[in-house]
């Protein structure tokens, strides 16, 4: 029997196909492993890149949140300053209005017809100005500048006409 196996093993038949096939399968497996290794390396690199981007985006978001908070604080401060300025303007307008009333009272002491006519017109304009001043608290921030300019212009015109009437 040993002779038969030995004879079969030493036969002239070419058995290289068996090893060639195994060699091809080995090369295919090595190629597949190499391809998978490349894919794995590429995936790892992509994940690391995405992590860096995400970290940067998170830092940018944190920076923007800090800036937003700073702007909120600045807005609060500016609103406080605005409120103080409105109060100061209101006090200045009240003082100017008191001076206007005093000047009108002085004009009322004059007895000539021109002074009496001027006084009637100036008092009517003063009353319109008083009505306008009564709406100051309801004036929106957006129109505050035009409101104050209108009030100041009206004051200036009444005071100018009052000076002219006293002459």
All residue ranges of the chain with pLDDT < 50 are: 2-8
Please tell me whether residue 122 adopts helix, strand or coil conformation: helix
The CA distance from 140 to 144, in Å, is 6
pLDDT number for residue 111: 86
Please give the span between the terminal C-alpha atoms of the chain, in angstroms, as a whole number: 152
Alpha-carbon distance of 158 to 164, in angstroms, equals 10
Closest to 123 in 3D by CA, of 131, 151, 138: 131
The pLDDT assigned to 140 comes to 81
Neighbours of 100 (CB within 10 A): 19
* Cα 114 to Cα 106, 140, 161, distances in angstroms: 14, 40, 12
Which pLDDT belongs to residue 41? 92
Domain ranges of the chain: 39-166
Question: Sign (positive/negative) of CA torsion 8, 9, 10, 15?
Answer: positive
């Amino acid at each position: 029997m040993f002779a038969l196996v030995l004879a079969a093993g030493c036969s002239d038949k070419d058995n290289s196909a068996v090893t060639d096939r195994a060699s091809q399968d080995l090369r295919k497996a090595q190629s597949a492993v190499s391809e998978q290794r490349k894919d794995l390396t590429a995936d790892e690199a992509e994940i690391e890149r995405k992590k860096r981007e995400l970290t940067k985006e998170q830092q940018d978001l944190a920076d923007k949140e800090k800036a937003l908070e700073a702007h909120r604080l600045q807005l609060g401060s500016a609103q406080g300053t605005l409120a103080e300025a409105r109060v100061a303007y209101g006090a200045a307008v009240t003082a100017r209005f008191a001076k206007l009333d005093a000047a009108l009272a002085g004009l009322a002491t004059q007895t000539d017809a021109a002074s009496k006519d001027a006084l009637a017109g100036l008092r009517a304009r003063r009353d319109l100005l008083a009505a306008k001043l009564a709406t100051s608290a309801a004036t929106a921030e957006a129109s505050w500048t035009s409101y104050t300019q209108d009030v100041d212009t009206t004051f200036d015109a009444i005071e100018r006409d009052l000076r002219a009437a006293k002459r």
